[in-house]
Amino acid sequence: MTTNLRDTMARGAAWMVLFRLVDRGVGFISTLILARLLTPEHFGIVAMATSFIAMLELIGAFGFDTALIQRADATRAHYDTAWTFSVILGCTLSLLMVATARPLSRFYEQPPLIYVMSALAVGSFAQGFQNVGTVSFRKQMEFHKEFRFLLSKRVATFPITIALAFVFRNYWALVGGMVTGKLVDLWLSYHFHPYRPRFDLSGTKDLLHFSKWLLVVNVLQFLRDRSPDFVLGRIAGPHSLGIFRISNELGNMPGAELVAPINRAVYPAYVTIARDLRALQREYLWVMSMICLLAIPAVAGVAATATLIVPLALGQNWLSAIPVLQVIAFFGISHVMQSNAYSVCLALGRGNIFAFLNGGSVLVLIAFLIPLVRSDGALGAAYAYLTAALIMLPIAVATILRILKLSVTDFVRAVWRPLAASTLMFLAVERYSEARASTTATSELISGMLGAVCLGVVLYVAGVALFWVLSGRPDSAEAATMRKASRVCLSVTRARRSARKSE
């Protein structure tokens, strides 16, 4: 059973990782183009609007999609109730956005926010009517269908955003892309799934019983993720906020784009084995070892090559983002280390545990955020994030180990090899990158970046392999990865031989 479940999780994670890689690859290219056409102020204005919208969205952040997945006996009434709440939220939210647009513009002293908020209200209205049936893609672990659904939205939105950037050369390109994405998402949700929801609130009690803690978690996550937007926007202005937002996106991209789809895929699997503690222990450690194997070197690589990434990807107008990106990348490592705990807590119906952990993280973050932003602007916000993460990481790990009745030794045994290899890789690549970043020539920056990537890959793979051998070659994520790589290489070799024979 465990082997079949692990294979299902692996296939699901592969589909979700593939989507995130394609999605973020397109998004990264979009960011590169937009950063050359727009200024940090343009990104900052949109961040001011979206942060406030995210706060308004908290009135309905019950996470009903997660509740539908968690309930094995979910009926049509539950799905229709979730959709009805979504419609009510979408209509309410769009009205609130229009009503609060002027006060928000006065708070930030940015008149354009009146029109930006009014335009984004159209997207929020459309989002409320999305087809709830697409939740079944994850519930039934049909991730190939979800892959096609999510990818179609990105493919449709990308060219529109870029075209608008060339036409307007300001924040309207970002706003237009966001609204278009919501409208396309609405149409695709009904195109890809035959379910047709109807208005019904009969399943409210059942859904709210599980979702009350999800609401608390979502509120706390908003405070954790969006507090810098309000503080930076008010104290330091849109330029610093734009620097922080783009740095945060780039710094968290490798970890988030690898970890989020894995967690998205394994959550339904965790739900199926939630009553079998021994199986849940095994799968949690295996997933954590795989997450660390893939994500930690990627995040460490961003920190090591920040001096090359910023001038090459964003241009000379963004050089002040270099130290911010480095600090945010280190925060990303700590985020990777505790990311899978959320899926475990939800699968066990213990959302309150994660709510308390998030609450502690928010309190620590806010305690450091305002004084550090006043002294160092965007860099201060990054340091506040890192400080909060370093304080809360051991607490979060200890909590999940206690819930699963695992020892610290079990956890360390699963993750130490990627951590050690990433540390060695970072030290070498950072020194190499700093030596190659003294130029402004694009060709030399490209060659330096390629060299840094190659050096990092070689050092990391060699380090992991060495530590794996020294550990006695355990049946771990490294072993599974090598077996998969061997099968791929064998398949490629056989295909080549068949092609030669056919010639």
Q: Which tokens sit at 438?
A: 């003294």
* Segments in the chain below pLDDT 70: 1-28, 59-64, 66-67, 69-72, 138-139, 141-144, 147, 208-217, 254-258, 260-261, 264-265, 351, 488, 492, 495-496, 498-503
Is the sign of the CA dihedral 475, 477, 480, 485 positive or negative?
negative
Angle at 208 between CA 204 and CA 211, to 5 degrees: 140
pLDDT at 21: 61
In a domain, 154, yes or no: yes
pLDDT at 99: 92
In a domain, 309, yes or no: yes
pLDDT at 232: 82
DSSP letters for 189-234: HHHH---------TTHHHHHHHHHHHHHHHHHHHHHHHHHHHHHHH
In a domain, 493, yes or no: no
pLDDT at 1: 44
Kindly tell me the burial class for residue 309, based on how many C-beta atoms sit within 10 Å of its own C-beta (0-12, 13-18, 19 or more).
buried
pLDDT digits (tens, 9 = 90+) for 222-270: 777 777 777 887 888 788 888 888 888 777 776 666 676 677 667 777 7
In a domain, 67, yes or no: yes
Q: How many domains does the chain have?
A: 1
pLDDT digits (tens, 9 = 90+) for 355-371: 777 788 888 888 898 89
Q: Which residue has the tokens 């900052």?
A: 44
Q: Evaluate whether 11 touches 143 at the Cβ level (below 8 Å).
A: yes
Q: Which amino acid is at 200?
A: D
| Alpha carbon distances (Å) from 142 to 139, 147, 353 | 8, 9, 29
Say if pTM beats, i.e. exceeds, 0.75.
no
pLDDT at 457: 92
In a domain, 498, yes or no: no
Q: With the CA atoms of 53, 55, 59 and 63 taken in that order, what torsion angle do they form, in degrees rounded to the nearest 10?
A: 90
In a domain, 492, yes or no: no
In a domain, 171, yes or no: yes
Domain span including residue 321:
2-486
Q: At what angle do helices 40-56 and 113-127 cross, to 10 degrees?
A: 50
Closest residue by Cα to residue 156 from 121, 128, 191, 125: 191
pLDDT at 455: 94
In a domain, 266, yes or no: yes
